[in-house]
Each structure stands twice: as C-alpha cells, then as structure tokens.
Amino acid sequence: MDCGLRSSIRNVNPRWACLVQWVCLALWAWLTLATSSLHAQTATKNAASADSQVKLDATGLSLAARDVAFFSTSLNMRKGLLEDVESGWIAEIRQVPYIQEVEQFLRTKWENPEPETEQVKNFLTSPIARDLMLLASDMTAHECFIIGEKSWCDFLKAFAKFQYELAASGQDPESMRDYFLDMTKEDFDAIPVPTTIMGFQLSEDENARTQLDALEGILQLGMSAIDQLKPLAKNLRRKDLANGQTLSMTFSAEDIPWENIPIPDADAQDVVDHLAELLVGRKVVLTLGVVNDRFMMSISESADTLANLGRNGNLLATDALKQLANNQPADLRSVNYTSGEFRKASWDSNFDHYFERIALQITGPLSLQFESDEFDKWQEKLTEDCQWLDEKLVEMMPKYSSALAYGFHTAEGLETLAYDWTPSWLLENAKPLAVAKHGGTAPLILIASRQKWLNGIGEIVDAVMEEIPEHAEMLQEAGLIQADDVEKFEEMSEKVMPIIEDMIAAVRDHLIPGLDGNESLVAITAQTLATQLSEDAPTPPAPLPLPEMAVVMKIKNKDLFLTGCDQFIRSINAMISLMREENPGQIPPEVQVPEPESESLAEGGTRYSFPMGAPAPWDQFELQMAISNDVAVLGYSSRQVRDLYQSRPLAARPGWYSETEPLAQVGFIDIAGIFRAVKPWVHYALTNVNEDLDQPLGPSENDIPVPTGTDVLLMWDCFKKLGKCAGTTVVDKNDVTVSHWIWVGE
C-alpha cells in the first residue's frame, strides 16, 4: 500500500509542481512591477496624505444615489498593499529561500532574455506598456468602488416572477413554447438590465484620458476591418463632458443576426421570431469613462449612466450612512451598504413561492403521464398545501431594512463594525451569555449565541404530519401508486408514524423545554492526535491532529432534558428494530444504540458515552454527552467534551468582550491555528511523495526552480501571518443588530 500511495502521488506531482511554480512566478512578477510603482508614487505625491482621514464626500459614496441597491468600496488600497509587502504575509513568503531563488531566476531571465521572452520584455518596457502599467497601478492605489443601482431590485423581482410563471406553465416543451409566445413586450420590458458601475480613484487623469483615446482608435480600426463587427462600429460613441469624457458601446437587439441562428424546426422558429419582437428596442450599453479624476465603467441601458452619477440624491444623506459619518474612524479601509429593498428582493428571488415551485417541479413531469380528475385534485391539494407553507414562511421572515458595515485599520489590526436595522428575528441578548464560559482552552473556531425560537415551526411540523396520509390516499386514487403499495404504505405508516411522533414529542415536550434561553456554543478543535492512521498506512513523521467538534447547550431542567434524550434514543432503536423486521438479514441484531456507559463528573455532572468499537486511532472517538445542572456538552472526542464541560473565563475572545454584559453572539476563528493544525497532514503527504524533503518534488521544466518538501513547509508556515479574528454581536435597545469584529495578524 505504501508503494501504491507514493506512486499515485508521483503521478500527479508534475502538474502540482508546475502549478506551484507558476503561482510563484506570477506573484514575483506582480510584486516587482506593482510595488516599485507604489513606492515611487507614495514617496512623491501621497506620502503626506497617506495618514490623513478619508473624506467621505470625496469617495464613491458621493456618487451613489439614496435608493441604491448596494454599494461597496475599498479605500487606501496602496497603504494596505505596502503593509503586506513590507511586514505582512507577502514579506514573510519572500523570505523563503525557494521564493528568493525563483526571484533570482526571473531576474536573470529578464536581464538575459531568450528569443521567446525578448518580445515580451520589449513590449513591457515600451512606452505603451509603461503607461498602461502606471494606470493599472494608479487604479489600485486609492479607491475601488462598485455601485448596484435600484434597477437591481427591479431586476430580481421581475426575474423571480418570470421564473415562477415559467415553472407554473408546465414542464412539457409545448407548454413552455406557449408561455413564451404569450409573453407581451410589456412583460419582457419589465425585466430591466441591472445598472452596475465600477470606479477607480486616480491621482491624475491625463494618462487615463490618453488610454481611452487609444482604445477608441484601436476599436474603430479593428471593428472596421472585420465584416462581422462592422455593424457594431457604428454603435461606438465618444462623448466629452464638462468633467471628463466617456466611450460607450451599445449592443442592440436589432444588431443580432437572427437569420444566422440555426433553428431546428418551425415551432422553434415561432419562438425565435417572437423573441426578436420582444427584444425590439432593448439594448445593453458598456461605457468606459474618465470622470472627476476617476476611471469608471458601467453596464446599463443608457450611455449617460456615468455622466448622470450623483444627480439622484446622495447615499451619504441616508440615516444608515450617518452612523459612519458620526463615528468615522481615522484609517477607514472599506464601506459596504445594502438596502432593505435589495435584501428583500434577494430573499424573494430565492424563496418566494419556494414550496409551490417545488410542487410544480414534482407535478409538472407527472402531469404528462397521468391525466385524470383525481390527479388534478391531488395536484390542486398539493399546491394549496405548499402555498400555505409559503405563507407561513413569509410570516416568520422579518421586514428587511438596510445594513451597513465598515472596516478600519488600528494599531491592533483590522476592525469591522456592522449595523443591521432589520428587526432581530434570530438573535437576542436579554442577559449575558452563560454558555460562553464553556469555550474550552484552545478552540480553532468558536461561536456562542443566544437564539430566538421561530414561531410557527411547530405548527408547520404538525400540519405536515397530519397531511401525509391524505396525500397518500389521493395518490392512490390518481393512480400514481398501486393499491398494494398503498396498503403496504398504510401498514408501514401505522408502525412508523407513532415512532416519528414520539421523536417529535421528545423534542417538543422534553428536549426544548429542558434548555435554558436557547443558548448554544459550537467549538472546533484539533488537539486529539493520531500517530498511525491504520496498520497498512505509512507512519506519519509527526502526530496528526484529528478534527474535533462539539456543541454546548445551556440547561434549565436536567431531568427533563435527560428524559427527552432517553425517549429519543428509544425511538431510534424502535425504528432500527422496525427496519430489521421489514428487511430480515440486512440489519445485524447488534446494530442499535446501546445502553450508555456513565462516568461521574465535577459539579454533580455525568458523562454518558456510547462505545463504537472503532479501530485506532478512531478509538479515541465515541458519541457522548456530559451534562450538569447548567450545561450539556454533545460531542465525540472525550478530550474535547471534558474540556468544554469545565467552566472557566472565555479566553478566545476580542478584547472588549465582557462576560457580565448582555450579548447575542461571540465568535472566534484562529486562522493561523487552522493552518498549523493542517501542517502535519501536509508534511505527511509530502513524505509520501518523496521521503527526502530536501529533494525537489519533481523534474524541472525550462530550468525553473522546483520546490522541495522543505520549501513547501516553509511557505506553509507563512500563513501564520493570517492571525486570528474575533467578534461580538449585540441587539441594542433600538432593536439594531450591531456586530464588532477584529482581525489581528501574527
């Protein structure tokens, strides 16, 4: 097995090694070309302003309308890049000997180019390429923003309506054909092209204007020389503005060569002809522009989108942005805004008529096989029930409002504040998170929260259970299932339904009432180690961390909760016995949830475990629960369960966390720790490629340096710079959900 494993890894090794090489080459090229320009520009024009506070009215926020669907911007990009280049993960990885060797290799190739690379070098050193590189460097130095205008909301709403109506029309080709032929131009025009704008702040716009002029000339010359593109050349428009210039290309439906589209039959021809009629007057316009010292591009239905930016109100004047304006941090790095209307439209596009659409997908194909009054009655009944489920889903969902998040740099790291004005429907923080005291000693990922019960879930479950027998009877009457099958189904239902009802009752009447305040905590660690995966597997060079995951729940009534657990386990065993009875010989007699072993714990607690009899190293894992009067810990790692059972102050937390303050959620992610936990597995894989880690992982191509296993491990260590992040979420007195996160590198 050892030889087979190594052979299979070696088979993919050349591709993998080649990928690593070219990634490193691309990284070096980007750093060499970009950072030199960044340093030069920083030293001249922007050194004095690098630390000055961002003026919000000078950013893309001033161009976004009040009713914008979404907005996102990244600020001080040059400063962030230089931080990574000089002291961040980029600086760290450039210290790896292999990366330095690759850089020296590229430098040598650049200084002594071969014939195939000399043309590339000549182009990159030409004035044209130099100006393009300077423009690209300037575009990525200050601000990059994206605006989704209100038409995004209209697009999502209209497209969701179109999807629903198309599904309701039927699944057969004839019904779909009829649906398209019945569409009117008003129906089609109701689906707008969502206007999207992207912009880049420039230090100066002269170079960008020159490049826009050059692009216009190249496009005019190129399209005029190709017969198929000549119709598009007339749609290229240049427009001079008081504060800049734009270059737009209009793609009109009238320019589509409908006569050249292959049509399989006359029916399809009717659809294509009707589609051509529906598209009359529709167009998509791609616009590039240099406006107000910004290079911008837009996709919309108008060539004047960029020229009209900022004329329809201002996002800065909205209540959501006042939160940022009144509390603007010194070193702002990002701003993200989403309107309530867009969030609602996004939800509806995925979940509006959700269950009804599922019903249509089920009944549509069946309607082609079964045509009867009984089938129509069942289809109508299923649709009504699914519509009822959709109504209940709508009742449970909140009325969406806008959301804002902004990030900023501090001496400790990068922080983010997020505000959601949607009434809280999932989280609450009536009191401190008691369950957070059971976060353990060294989590890689931890999330503790206090949730709200969603009203209506119980009603939905009861209704579904009640309707199942009626649907089975109607399916029989419609001929979808045979009478014998119905009889077997009814007989099986008489046995299964009581078991399922017992399970639901255990959850509803015992487990849920036994919990306290819906507090729960999820922790992922990797402190259980394996020195051997199996008898036949190669021996790892170092112990391998195994993933551990457990859930901690706050307990209100220990006895009630244990009664529910016992009832639930008995129901599972009853279901296993029933399956064994129905399928003799397929399920061994020993397959069942055994009686748990118990162990006394501190504070009057007990640990219940269910031995699995797994081979090493998995014998360290078994399903178990540790429970006291305060908490229940469910997991499979004895080490982790015992660790989380103990009550101690939460260590994995942000600095502002207070265990005495009401809180809805606290989270922690040790990104560097995750990479450290995975490193032994990477080491193990590399030793199976080549036992000598100081040897190249594969043959060299074109004399490009090939990394050794040691090089890969050194590069892997650089990910420690990704550090950790932690945060909290509270629901304030105005029912605004406020999240505060921080990222700290190592």
Task: Please indicate whether residue 630 or residue 87 has the higher confidence score (pLDDT).
Answer: 630
Q: Determine the pLDDT at residue 52.
A: 60
pLDDT band per the 50, 70, 90 thresholds, residue 437: very high
pLDDT band per the 50, 70, 90 thresholds, residue 8: very low
From 645, 648, 672, select the one nearest 726 (Cα to Cα).
672
Q: Determine the pLDDT at residue 179.
A: 84
Q: Determine the pLDDT at residue 415.
A: 95
Q: Determine the pLDDT at residue 211.
A: 86
CA 111/CA 121 separation, integer angstroms: 9
Q: Determine the pLDDT at residue 201.
A: 93
From 636, 568, 643, select the one nearest 608 (Cα to Cα).
636
Range ranked top by mean pLDDT from 166-175, 486-495, 669-678:
669-678
Q: Determine the pLDDT at residue 172.
A: 72
Average pLDDT, rounded, for the chain: 85
Q: Determine the pLDDT at residue 31.
A: 53
Task: Please indicate whether residue 214 or residue 153 has the higher confidence score (pLDDT).
Answer: 153
Answer whether 180's CB lies under 8 Å from 213's CB. Answer: no
pLDDT (average), residues 565-573: 93
3-state secondary structure 270-304: HHHHHHHHHCCCCEEEEEEEEECCEEEEEEECCCC
Residue 203 tokens read as 């230090």
CA 120/CA 185 separation, integer angstroms: 51
Give the torsion sign (CA, 228, 232, 234, 237): negative
Q: Determine the pLDDT at residue 648.
A: 94
From 216, 247, 62, select the one nearest 143 (Cα to Cα).
62
Q: Which of 74-88, 151-165, 287-301, 503-517 has the lowest mean pLDDT?
A: 74-88
Residue 10: burial class (beta carbons within 10 Å; 0-12, 13-18, 19+):
middle
Q: What angle do CA 160, 162, 166 make, to 5 degrees?
A: 120
Q: Determine the pLDDT at residue 89.
A: 78
Q: Determine the pLDDT at residue 703.
A: 79
Q: Determine the pLDDT at residue 590.
A: 76
Q: What angle do CA 458, 464, 465 make, to 5 degrees?
A: 90
pLDDT at 24 over 70: no
Task: Please indicate whether residue 89 or residue 449 has the higher confidence score (pLDDT).
Answer: 449
Question: Which three-class secondary structure state does DSSP give residue 480?
Answer: coil
Q: Determine the pLDDT at residue 219.
A: 81
The distance in angstroms from the start CA to the end CA of the chain is 40
Task: Please indicate whether residue 123 or residue 201 has the higher confidence score (pLDDT).
Answer: 201
CA 325/CA 317 separation, integer angstroms: 10
pLDDT (average), residues 271-292: 90
Q: Determine the pLDDT at residue 32.
A: 57
pLDDT band per the 50, 70, 90 thresholds, residue 12: very low
pLDDT at 45 over 70: no
Give me the helix-helix angle, 127-139 and 115-124, nearest 10°: 60
Answer whether 402's CB lies under 8 Å from 338's CB. Answer: yes
pLDDT tens-digit readout, 223-259: 777 777 777 778 888 898 888 899 999 998 888 877 7
Q: Is the peptide bond before 617 cis (omega within 30 degrees of 0)?
A: yes
pLDDT tens-digit readout, 593-631: 888 999 999 988 999 998 877 777 788 899 999 999 999
pLDDT band per the 50, 70, 90 thresholds, residue 283: very high
pLDDT (average), residues 512-519: 88
pLDDT at 109 over 50: yes
pLDDT at 173 over 90: no
pLDDT tens-digit readout, 523-537: 999 999 999 888 888
pLDDT at 665 over 90: yes
